[in-house]
Amino acid sequence: MSEDNNTTTNNNNNNNSEQCSIFTELDKELAAKAKQEYEGGQYDVCLKTLQKILESWPDDPKVLFNIALTEYAMSSFQKTDIFKTQLNKIAEKLHCSLDNVTTLEEPDQCTLFYNMSVLLYHMRQYRSALLIVEKLFRLIGQIDETLSWKICLLLCELDLCTFQPENALATVIHLEKLLSERSSSPSNGLSHSPNMLNDSLEILKSKISLYKIRCLLMLKSLRTCKKELKQLQNTNISSTSLTYARANFEYFKENHTRALKILTNNQQTNSSLISLQTNSSHCFYNNLSCIHFHLHKSAFALFYMRRALTENNRLLIEQLNSNDKQLIIHNINRKYEILYNLGIQLLFKHQPLPAFECLIDVIHIYSNNIRLWLRLAECCIMIYRSSNEDIFKLEEKLKCVLQSIGNGFHHKLILGNCNTSTSSKKSTITNGNENCSMEFALFCLKNALTSLPIITEADLQKEETKLYPAPPGNPMRIGDMIALKCSILTAAAYVSLCLNDFVSAKNYATNLLDEPRASSGHKYLARLYLSESLLAMNKIELALNQLDAEMIKNENDLSFKMPITTIDKEEKSDTPEITPPIPKADLVSWLPRDARVGQAIVYYNIAAIYAITNDVEKAFKHFNLFVNLFGKTQPAHSFQLKFYLDLLDGNRHRLQILLKENFGHLTSNKSFVAFPTLTHTLSTNNS
Digit-coded pLDDT (tens) for 139-163: 988 888 889 999 999 999 999 999 8
* pLDDT of 276: 45
Cβ proximity of 194 and 213 under 8 Å: no
User: What is the Cα–Cα distance from 583 to 581, expressed in whole angstroms?
Assistant: 6
Query: What percent of the chain lies above the pLDDT cut of 90?
Result: 43
Cβ proximity of 118 and 130 under 8 Å: no
Mean pLDDT computed over every residue of the chain:
81
User: What is the Cα–Cα distance from 90 to 67, expressed in whole angstroms?
Assistant: 11
Assign 324 a pLDDT band (cuts: 50, 70, 90): low
Torsion of CA 269, 273, 278, 279, to 10 degrees: -140
Arithmetic mean of pLDDT, 568-592 = 51
Over the stretch 356-387, which tens digit does the pLDDT of each residue have? 999 999 999 999 999 999 999 999 999 998 87
Over the stretch 248-299, which tens digit does the pLDDT of each residue have? 999 999 899 999 999 888 665 554 444 444 567 898 999 999 999 999 899 9
Which of these, 271, 250, 278, 279, lies nearest to 5 by C-alpha position? 279
* pLDDT of 267: 64
* pLDDT of 181: 76
Query: What percent of the chain lies above the pLDDT cut of 70?
Result: 80
Where residue 308 falls (left for φ over 0; alpha for ψ -120 to 50; beta otherwise) is alpha
Cβ proximity of 506 and 486 under 8 Å: no
Cβ proximity of 620 and 649 under 8 Å: yes
Which contacts of 523-530 are long-range, i.e. CB under 8 A and separated by 24 or more positions?
524/552, 524/557, 524/558, 524/592, 524/598, 525/490, 525/493, 525/494, 525/591, 526/489, 526/490, 526/493, 528/601, 528/602, 528/605, 529/490, 529/493, 529/494, 529/497, 529/505, 530/493, 530/505, 530/506
Residue 172 has pLDDT above 60, yes or no: yes
Q: Cis ω on the peptide bond leading into residue 472 (within 30° of 0)?
A: yes
Over the stretch 597-642, which tens digit does the pLDDT of each residue have? 899 999 999 999 999 998 999 999 998 899 888 877 788 888 888 8
User: What is the Cα–Cα distance from 491 to 348, expressed in whole angstroms?
Assistant: 16
Look up the pTM and report it: 0.82
Give helix 421-431 / helix 370-384 axis angle, nearest 10°.
Answer: 110
Cβ proximity of 9 and 154 under 8 Å: yes
In order of 106, 386, 552, 603, the CA distances from 548 in angstroms are 72, 28, 8, 8
Arithmetic mean of pLDDT, 100-116 = 92
